[in-house]
């Protein structure tokens, strides 16, 4: 078991080659945990075996959440896969071949540019897009969605822990202390806009997937660093990584 706020289970699961489930926001109670960002915090779990992953779900998820009516439909986020070094069609073929072995039926798959969809259906996101960006519209929207997720996390972390950080002055590792200081020093007048973007994106994704759609996207932007490496993940890698995890985190949707 663990908590996933901005990919804290999904990222290590992907890097370590194990399975992870982050449930929809609010479905599993966070009572008894230390809050990070209450709008994003979820209780999830890791397992090597899909059967174990499913059995934990049977124990923790409400019965109503465990069944889908109607044939499912895979919706491939093609633009996200194009950001990887793996050929897009190879990924699609692997997933489509895997679902053919499942006992329940699937509708023909659908393909979408999720960045363009976000840009067209989340109007309040425009104020978080970089003004003179050289990125295409879809990539710019994905980067902006990631920005909103990280700003929301900082704002709520500060509300929860600023007094403790300033009083105790804890000794933390370099990366963690950098993030904690970013949160504690956070100042922004656009707080309402963060919550408006979250609400708009939640409605837009619900409208895209309806009751049977399953959005297929990469968990990670590539391979992890080697153990004991003195390198750090590049800013480009981190941008892609957080853009991918923000799609579920900010919408409140579940992700495997």
Q: 103 pLDDT band (50/70/90 cuts)?
A: confident
For the ranges 197-201, 230-234, 235-239, the lowest mean pLDDT is seen at 230-234
Cα–Cα distance measured from residue 10 to residue 33, given in angstroms and rounded to the nearest whole number: 19
Strands (E), 16-153: 19-21, 42-47, 73-77, 110-112
Is 66 a residue whose pLDDT tops 60?
no
Single out the residue of 242, 207, 256, 209 nearest to residue 23, CA to CA: 256
- Helix count and strand count (H, E) for the chain: 9, 6
Stretch 95-99: mean pLDDT: 85
Q: 67 pLDDT band (50/70/90 cuts)?
A: low
Residue 35 DSSP label: P
* 255 touches 214 (CB < 8 A): no
pLDDT digits 0-9 by tens, 132-180: 555 577 789 999 999 999 999 999 999 999 999 999 999 998 888 988 9
Strands (E), the chain: 2-4, 19-21, 42-47, 73-77, 110-112, 213-216
Predicted pLDDT of residue 4: 96
Cα–Cα distance measured from residue 149 to residue 242, given in angstroms and rounded to the nearest whole number: 9
Cα–Cα distance measured from residue 98 to residue 70, given in angstroms and rounded to the nearest whole number: 19
Predicted pLDDT of residue 232: 79
Is 190 a residue whose pLDDT tops 90?
no
More confident residue, 166 or 236: 166
Q: Chain-wide mean pLDDT for the chain? A: 90
Stretch 202-229: mean pLDDT: 91
73-77, strands of its sheet edge to edge: 110-112, 73-77, 213-216
pTM: 0.91
pLDDT digits 0-9 by tens, 108-120: 889 999 999 999 9
Sequence length of the chain is 256
The DSSP bridge partners found for residue 216 are: 76
Predicted pLDDT of residue 133: 57
Quickly count: other Cβ atoms within 10 Å of residue 148's Cβ: 24
SS3 state of residue 238:
helix
């Amino acid at each position: 078991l663990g908590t996933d706020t901005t990919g804290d289970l999904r990222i290590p699961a992907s890097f370590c080659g194990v399975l992870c489930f982050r449930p929809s926001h609010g479905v599993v109670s966070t009572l008894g945990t230390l809050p990070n960002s209450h709008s994003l915090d979820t209780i999830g779990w890791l397992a090597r075996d899909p059967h174990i992953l499913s059995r934990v779900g049977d124990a923790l998820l409400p019965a109503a959440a465990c069944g889908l009516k109607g044939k499912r439909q895979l919706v491939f986020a093609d633009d996200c896969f194009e950001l990887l070094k793996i050929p897009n069609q190879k990924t699609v073929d692997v997933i489509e071949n895997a679902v053919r072995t499942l006992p329940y039926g699937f509708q023909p798959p659908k393909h979408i540019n999720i960045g363009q969809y976000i840009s067209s259906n989340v109007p309040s996101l425009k104020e978080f897009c970089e003004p003179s960006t050289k990125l295409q519209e879809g990539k710019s929207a994905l980067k902006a969605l990631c920005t909103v997720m990280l700003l929301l996390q900082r704002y709520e972390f500060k509300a929860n822990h600023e007094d403790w950080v300033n009083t105790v002055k804890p000794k933390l590792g370099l990366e963690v202390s950098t993030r904690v200081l970013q949160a504690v020093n956070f100042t922004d007048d656009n707080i309402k806009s963060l919550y408006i973007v979250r609400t708009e994106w939640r409605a837009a994704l619900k409208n895209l997937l309806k009751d049977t759609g399953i959005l297929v996207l990469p968990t990670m932007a590539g391979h992890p660093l080697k153990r004991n490496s003195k390198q750090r993940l590049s800013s480009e890698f981190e941008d892609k990584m957080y853009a991918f995890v923000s799609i579920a985190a900010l919408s409140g949707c579940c992700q495997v």
